[in-house]
Each structure stands twice: as structure tokens, then as C-alpha cells.
Amino acid sequence: MVDAHFDQTADLWLIENGRRIGLVDHVKRAFKYRFYPTDAQAAELSRTFGCVRKVYNLALAARAQAWVLRQERVNYNATSAMLTEWKKTEELAYLNEVSSVPLQQALRHLQTAFTHFFAQRARYPRLKSRKKSRKSAEYTTSAFRFQGGKLTLAKMTEPLAIVWSRPLPEGVAPSTVTVSQDAAGRWFVSVLCEDPGVKPLPATDAAVGVDAGLDHLLTLSTGEKITNPRHERGDRGRLARAQRELARKAKGEGVNRAKARRRVARVHARIADRRRDALHKITTRLVRDNQTIVIEDLSVRNLLKNGRLARAIPDAAWSEFRSMLEYKARWYGREVIVVDRWFPSSKLCSNCGTLQNTMPLSVRTWTCGSCGVTHDRDVNAARNILAAGLAVSACGAGVRPQRSTPGGQSATKQETPRRKP
């Protein structure tokens, strides 16, 4: 595992197994803005999205066919040569109408997907669907012009009407621009550039354990409980009405069905935006206030098999919380420790270490039979997570604290009710 650490010179060092392996001057950061294209710009971008999807699918099919028929691996250079030949054909001549840079970037993304697949970090790449896949196109420096706070893409004569909700870092030129359109019909541009403003925070001795839940989104080892906003539940009525209206529309490519689909997508986008905003505020505060943050390695995919929690768990967004926490910790020189998912944090007394045989989910407070201390279930779990994480940090990477019950069964944490057989 590679962690990011900072020294007093404010340089970011990548450290692996206690050894410095590289120096990074600045952090690359994406700044996302909404923009409002003209009709001509929207048509040009829509054509580009379609061509990007077509090239990606053609290259994926060609690579799969080469492997099945000839046991041959096709790399990016080969697919780039194929793209040149495809443009010469009458059937695919329309690929010449859009900028070639997003098409080349699609081939690079496919190469990256295969690299992750062969390294067993991801599944086999899938074909992009016209209806379900994300609409996006990536432009490198040769395909856009950024001058005077105005961004103009290749094949366009006018700059994009971007709402600059926050300024870009001064004196830094963008290296990549990604244009996308979400299911709600909103247009976004993501500008990637180095951000010299991301610097290490002053070191502190504070450490906190975090227990994720549903009644409370997070419970800290300090005793603080962060309320679960339940954004999906708050908009469930509005979402149900929009979905009923969509179900009444005739299936096909009708205009009214497309409008109803966008109304459903706007409700989903409202929920996702509010959830993401809340998580950003929480993770930023945790990273600023603590040097070490200890969390649990929750298996969200397995928890989703419980039908009664299939809505509540995605709404809590534990995976997104962990992702935000980890990259912000790398930015600001903090440490995130992940404790094994089988560690019995709820059933272990944080005062004397006695392990309880059972701990039903309905039990929210309990008293230890050995030391007589009364525990709040979630606060006790957060304190045990903190202690286990600090033990992992002291013993070295790969140490996973586990205990067994007196009967020899695995002491698993029971945070979700089990289905009746």
C-alpha cells in the first residue's frame, strides 16, 4: 500500500514500506463547473459523444476478436492505426467531422481498462450503451484554448458559457478538459490542473475512530454522532411521482417519454448532489481535525443483499465517504487506517476487552458483565475501531486484529438484521 506523507518543506513524498519512492511537487486536481452551450455547441458535443462511444466499442470488439481468433493482444498503437483506417471508409467517414483528440483519448481509456483487467483490479471492459453509458469527451491541450478565463474547444468558434463558481489556481494552465452531460440534461466541464494550494496541514496528535451506521451516519470515538440526512427518503415522494409519470408514457423514443425520463433524472441528481455536498463537509472536517482516522472495511456489496436495507445503505454512501476520506488524507498529509471487517467492534468491551457471545442489532446500550461499564453500542464500536487501528499502525501493515468467540465461531460484527430463513 502506498501512502502520502509530507515533511516540513511542504513537498509531497510517496512512501512505500517506509521508503521514499518519489516526490510530487503539486497535486493534480479537477475543478468541475456547469456550462450552458449554444444549440450549435450542444449539437457538436452530442456528435462527439456518439463518435467517442462508437470508436470505443469498435476498438473493444477488435481486441476481443483478435484474442479469440488468434490469441493476439492488441495494444493502443494498433487500435490507433485502426482508427485511421476506419476514418477512410465510407461507413465511418463521419468520424472526421469531430475532433480526433477525444477519439484518441477513448482508445487510451480502453487501454487503461484492459491494464486494470489484466492486473485483476477490474472486470473485463464492457461495450458502451447509447442510453445508459456516461456521455463524455476528453480534450487534451492540443484540442482546446484557454485564454482570459475563456475556454474554447476544438471545432468550435465561440467559448463555452461556463459558470465559474470558484476560481482556478492562478498561473496554472489546464492540462485536460472533460466535457460531460448527465442524465438530467445538465452540461459540465471538468478542468484538470495542478493545484499549488493543496499543502500539508500542521501535524497533530489527534486520532479518531469512525463507526458507520444507518440510525446515525457516523459515530466517532469522541462520542459525537453525526445525523444521517437520509436524502433519498426526503425526496422519495417526489421520485415516486416522477417514476409513475414515466411508467405511463408509451415506450419508445417519444418526446414526452424523454421529458418524463429527465424529470426522474433531475430528482436523482438532486439527491446525489445533496449527499455529495454533505459528505464533502464531513470528510473535510475529519481530515482537518485529526492526524489519524480509523474506519472499518465494510463489504457494501454483501450488505445490499439484505432487501430491507437495499435503499438505506446506498443512501448512506459509505463507499463514497471512504473514497473522499482517503484522497483528502493523501492531499493533506493525514493517515487513514482500515480495520478488518470481521473485527467484533460492537461485541467487545472497550473498557476491559471482554467479548460478548451475542449482540443483537436491537441492543443499543449494554452493560459489560465483567467490569460493569455501560456502553452505547455505536460509541463503544468506534472506540474499539480506534484502538484496533492504532494497534495495526504500531504492529505494521497487514496486521488484522481478530478474535474468536468461546464457542470457536467467528466473532463478526452484526450491524444489519439477518433475514429469517
Which residues are part of the catalytic machinery? 211, 296, 378
**CB contact at 8 A, 401 and 390:** no
Q: What distance in Å separates the CA atoms of residue 383 and residue 396, rounded to the nearest whole number? A: 20
Contact (Cβ atoms closer than 8 angstroms) between residue 323 and residue 372: no
Q: Of 414, 413, 406, whose CA–CA distance to 357 is shortest?
A: 406
Alpha-carbon distance 198 to 159, whole Å?
29
Q: Is the separation of the CB atoms in 122 and 107 below 8 Å?
A: no
Report how far Cα 417 is from the mean position of its chain's Cα atoms. Answer: 27
Q: Cα separation of 140 and 177, whole Å?
A: 6
- SS3 (DSSP) at 99: coil
Q: Tell me, rounded to whole angstroms, the distance of Cα 58 from its chain centroid.
A: 28
CB distance 341 to 413 below 8 Å: yes
**CB burial readout 138-162, b (16+ within 10 A) else e:** bbbeebbebeeeebebbebeebbeb
AA identity, residue 56:
Y
In three-state secondary structure terms, 353 is coil
DSSP state of 160: -
Half-sphere exposure of 84 (CA within 13 A, CB side): 5
268, 239 contact by CB (below 8 A)? yes
